[in-house]
Amino acid sequence: MIAAIHSNAGVTVANIDAAGHVTGRSLYLDDLPVMEGTLFAKVLDSTVAHGTIRELDLQGARAVDGVVRIYTAADIPGQNEIGGIIADEPLFADKLVQFQGQPIALVVAETEEIAAEALALIRVTIDPLPVVTDPRDAFAQGLLLCKSRVFQKGDASSAFARCSHVFEGRAETGGQEHLYLETQGAYAYPTEGQGLRIYSSTQGLRHVQETVAHVLGVGMHQVEVDVTRLGGGFGGKEDQAAMWASMAGLAAWTLRRPVKCIPHRMEDMRMTGKRNPYQSDYRIGLDANLKIQAFEATYFQNGGASADLSPAILERTLFHGTNTYDIRHVLLTAHSCKTNLPPNTAFRGFGGPQGMFVIEAAIDHAATVLGIEAAVVQEANLLRDGSEFAYGQVVAGSRARECWEQAFDAFDIEHLRAECAAFNQANRFLKKAVAVMPVCFGISFTNTMMNQARALVHVYWDGSISVSTGAVEMGQGVNTKMLQVAAAVFGVHPSRVKVETTNTTRVANTSPSAASATADLNGKALEIACKEIRDRLDAVARAHANSTGPVVISNEQVTVGGMQTDLTWSALVKQAFFQRVSLSAKGHYATPDINFDKTIEKGHPFAYHVYGTSVTTATVDCIRGTYMLDAVRIVHDFGTTINKAIDLGQIEGGLVQGIGWMTMEEVVYNDAGRLLSNALSTYKIPDIYSVPRIVDVRFLETDGHELAIKGSKAVGEPPLMYGIGSFFAIRNAIRAFNPAASVPYSAPITPEKVLMALHSRKP
Ligand code: MTE
Ligand code: HPA
Ligand code: MOS
∠ CA 392-395-398, rounded to 5°: 155
In a domain, 255, yes or no: yes
- Is 717 a catalytic site residue? yes
Higher pLDDT residue, 4 or 399?
399
In a domain, 639, yes or no: yes
What is the Å distance from ligand 3's center to 558 Cα?
Answer: 41
In a domain, 464, yes or no: yes
Residues 376 and 415 in one domain: yes
Work out the pLDDT band at 763, boundaries 50, 70, 90.
low
Contact 207, 173 (CB under 8 A): no
The DSSP symbol for 510 reads: P
Give yes or no for residue 359 having a pLDDT over 60: yes
- pLDDT 10s digits, 557-594: 999 999 999 999 999 999 999 999 999 999 999 999 99
Gap between the Cα atoms of 175 and 311, Å rounded: 16
Give yes or no for residue 5 having a pLDDT over 80: no
In a domain, 424, yes or no: yes
SS3 180: coil
Residues 736 and 649 in one domain: yes
In a domain, 721, yes or no: yes
Measured from the alpha carbon of residue 84, the closest ligand is: 2
Contact 212, 245 (CB under 8 A): yes
Q: Which of 590, 608, 638 is where one domain is finished?
A: 590
Question: Catalytic pick from 89, 238, 717, 752?
Answer: 717
Determine what percent of the chain is predicted with pLDDT higher than 70: 98
Whole-number Cα distances in Å, 256 to 191, 194, 251: 8, 9, 8
Residues 375 and 245 in one domain: no
The kind and range of the H/E element at 144 are none
What is the per-residue pLDDT for 297? 98
Closest CA to 393 of 402, 403, 383: 383
What is the per-residue pLDDT for 85? 97
Give yes or no for residue 701 having a pLDDT over 90: no
Contact 501, 469 (CB under 8 A): no
Lining ligand 3 with CB less than 6 A are 203, 233, 235, 238, 346-348, 350, 514-515
- pLDDT 10s digits, 491-533: 999 999 999 999 999 999 999 999 999 999 999 999 999 999 9
Give yes or no for residue 716 having a pLDDT over 80: yes
Q: Is the peptide bond before 718 cis (omega within 30 degrees of 0)?
A: no
Give yes or no for residue 226 having a pLDDT over 60: yes
In a domain, 148, yes or no: no
As a whole number, the mean pLDDT across the chain is: 97
- pLDDT 10s digits, 146-199: 999 999 999 999 999 999 999 999 999 999 999 999 999 999 999 999 999 999
Longest dimension (CA), the chain: 86
Residues 380 and 509 in one domain: no
- pLDDT 10s digits, 77-103: 999 999 999 999 999 999 999 999 999
**Total domain count for the chain?**
3
Residues 479 and 520 in one domain: yes
Give yes or no for residue 115 having a pLDDT over 90: yes
Cβ–ligand 1 distance for 516 under 6 Å, the answer yes
Measured from the CA of 654, which atom of ligand 1 is nearest? 10
Phi, psi of 192 (to 5 degrees): -55, 150
Residues 351 and 463 in one domain: no
Residues 123 and 232 in one domain: yes
Cβ–ligand 1 distance for 711 under 6 Å, the answer no
Q: Which of 249, 271, 293 is where one domain is finished?
A: 271
In a domain, 389, yes or no: yes
What is the Å distance from ligand 3's center to 79 Cα?
Answer: 27
In three state form, how does the secondary structure of 581-622 look?
CCCEEEEEEECCCCEEECCCCEEECCCEEEEEEEEEEEEEEC
Residues 605 and 585 in one domain: no
Residues 382 and 504 in one domain: no
| CATH number of the domain within which 107 lies | 3.30.365.10
Residues 238 and 207 in one domain: yes
∠ CA 502-507-513, rounded to 5°: 55
In a domain, 156, yes or no: no
The kind and range of the H/E element at 646 are helix 644-663
SS3 273: coil
Among protein residues, the one with the nearest Cα to ligand 2's atom 1 is 515
Measured from the CA of 515, which atom of ligand 3 is nearest? 3
Q: Which domain holds residue 426?
A: 278-446+598-758
Q: Which of 231, 246, 271 is where one domain is finished?
A: 271
Work out the pLDDT band at 4, boundaries 50, 70, 90.
very low
Residues 291 and 258 in one domain: no
**Concatenated DSSP letters for 662-720?**
HHT----B-TT--BSS-STTTS----GGGS-SEEEEEEEE----TTSGGGB---SSGGG
The DSSP symbol for 388 reads: B
What is the Å distance from ligand 3's center to 511 Cα?
Answer: 12
Residues 658 and 529 in one domain: no
What is the Å distance from ligand 3's center to 139 Cα?
Answer: 26
Measured from the alpha carbon of residue 650, the closest ligand is: 1
